[in-house]
Amino acid sequence: MTQYWKDFPDIADFLGNVETLILNLLDRNAFPLKRELGELVESGGKMLRPALVYVGAEFGLNRAQKLWTKKQKEKMIHIAAAIELLHTATLIHDDILDRASSRRGIPTLHTRLGSTNAILAGDWLFSRTYRIIAQYMHPSRAVLLSDFVSAICKAEINQDLTKFSFTSSRRRYLQTIAGKTAALFSLALHIGASESGCSVPYTQALRRTGYNLGMAFQIIDDILDYESSVEELKKPVGNDLREGLCTLPLIYALQEDGARIKTLLAKIQTAPESVERGLALVMKTHAIDRARADAAHYTRLAHAEISKLPNGAPKSDLERIVNQLLVRKY
């Protein structure tokens, strides 16, 4: 885990417990690839989704006393671990689909172990996810998580079918990231709140907060693929363009300078140097500013939902998290 949560000591302590549980699961089940998966778990991910489980739970669990019972804490640690296992499994599969060479500053699993072993490792993580959910979550929430997995698979298939066509519209792009990213953000806050006994109106506000936060997060992520550096991002810059993905910055750039950019895009698959030139052309347009304005729009929508929540430390933490993610550099 990174120092991302250094200003949130309670969240950092919770996430430390989540990471320990995941590593213990790998060891306890004698998984053949436990060393490689353990390295991925410890490689400095933000663990944002399990953090949102914690924040959601804070709105329901003993809010008056500001203290969780041992049983409540154990339950939430397991649920948060399940969410992180699910996310990690999708990352492993996503890296295979995108042929990514590194993740969080280390080689991706499939580059070290081959695609077959990486796929099976992701599948094993899915199995552990559902086992934890069966033990610790209400069946209705397990259905929500199952629906999320369906949504992300549909989003990935739709994205893969349009690779290198560079014809995605803004509307289709937003539909894709809603399924790929925003759904799990929304689910994390929703599950944390609902499993902790939070009231229905507050749970719904948190669910909508998570959705808008996830939309803003993914837009910023796609912006960073154009304007960040390998050192900051800890993965190859320009990978979306290299893999034929038409994200929001490119969509806006094509609206401004379509003729020149389309000529270059036609060479992406056969001329790797076209990626650098493509990045430069996009950066010369107003695309990044327009995409960042969209991220700010979803951030405002998230704050509008947060304003409906009761005052206190959980609300303040959530406001700070939303603001921090908008201006992040990695």
In the chain, domain spans: 3-326
CB atoms within 10 A of CB 327: 10
pLDDT at 64 (0 to 100): 52
Which residue has tokens 């929540």? 309
pLDDT at 15 (0 to 100): 96
Longest dimension (CA), the chain: 63
pLDDT at 230 (0 to 100): 60
Closest CA to 48 of 168, 196, 185, 180: 185
CATH class of 3-326: mainly alpha
Cα separations in angstroms, 158 against 14, 153, 239:
36, 9, 18
Which residue has tokens 């089940």? 29
**Cβ(13)–Cβ(51) under 8 Å?**
no
Read off the tokens for 167.
Answer: 């014809």
Cα separations in angstroms, 235 against 105, 125, 222, 229:
6, 22, 12, 8
pLDDT at 223 (0 to 100): 95
* pTM score above 0.85: yes
Residue 106: left (phi > 0), alpha (psi -120 to 50), or beta? beta
Whole-angstrom distance, CA of residue 80 vs CA of residue 149: 16
DSSP 85-141: HHHHHHHHHHHHHHT-SEETTEE-HHHHH-HHHHHHHHHHHHHHHHHHHHHHS-HHH
Tens-binned pLDDT, residue by residue, of the chain (330 aa):
567 899 999 999 999 999 999 999 988 878 888 898 888 888 878 999 999 999 999 998 755 556 788 999 999 999 999 999 999 999 898 889 878 888 877 889 999 999 999 999 999 999 999 999 999 988 887 888 888 888 888 888 888 888 888 887 999 999 999 998 999 999 999 999 999 999 999 999 999 999 999 999 999 999 999 987 666 666 677 889 988 999 999 999 999 998 899 998 988 888 878 888 999 999 999 999 999 999 999 999 999 999 999 999 999 999 999 999 888 877
Residue 105: left (phi > 0), alpha (psi -120 to 50), or beta? left
Question: DSSP letter at 224?
Answer: H
